[in-house]
A = this chain, B = another copy of it.
Amino acid sequence: METTRLETLADGVFAIAATLLIIDVSVEAHGDELGAALAHAWPQYAAYAISFLTIGIMWVNHQAIFRQIGRADHRFQFLNIGLLLCIAFVPFPTRLVAEHLRDDGLQVAAYAYGLTMTATAICFGSLWFYAAVGRRLIADTADERVVRGISRSYLPGAPIYALSTLVAVWSPEASVGLFAAIAIFFALESSLFGGSRP
């Protein structure tokens, strides 16, 4: 079974999930208060940028996985759908964090965001290891060192997000700061050294 339509579907979901984030950015204000209202709404832009970047990183990783994949089976299709289910969910907790960045709801919002990212990392790992173990779905031409490198890089993903979520028990602000730092770190690291991690 070929992977072409799996990738088309995935690209569609990535593009829509990322682009839908802008629907949640909105500012209502009378004319003369627009400047102040736009300045006050900065968490919305930050949330938009961090989430777009996060979904972008996920897309880069999805692509990195599929370059090593030679074929698909039914279980792989459903693991892929489970992953897309998580990714399409990202706009919801993102909105929660942006809305509650400056009130008592931030702790709960940080849990929601962190659990979503942890679940996404677990789905990413499941998709990859299902394909990679015993080179079940790996293309014959794929270099074993690249495959092992991806496997190693997937191990820390879920624990890093789970620990960052736990930090919200003591400080929701620190937890949200960690989520932003992870996104920026992976984007920079990926650009600077060419690695590909969850």
Chain A residues with CB under 8 Å of chain B are: 1, 5, 7-9, 11-23, 25-27, 29-35, 38, 48-49, 52-53, 56, 59-60, 63, 66-67, 73-75, 77-78, 81, 84-85, 88-89, 91-92, 95-96, 100, 103-106, 108-109, 112, 187, 190-192, 194-196
Chain B residues near A29 (CB-CB < 8 A):
105
What is the interface of chain A mostly: helix, strand, loop, or mixed?
Answer: helix
* CB neighbours of A23 from chain B (8 A): 20, 23
Nearest-neighbor residue (CB-CB) of A1 within chain B: B67
What number of copies of this chain does the assembly contain? 4
A21 to B27, CA, bound (A): 16
Q: A9-B14, A20-B23 are in contact. Are A85 and B106 (CB under 8 A)?
A: no
Report which of B16, B67, B85, B108 forms a contact with A53, defined as CB distance below 8 A: B85
Complex contact B91–A22 (CB within 8 A): yes
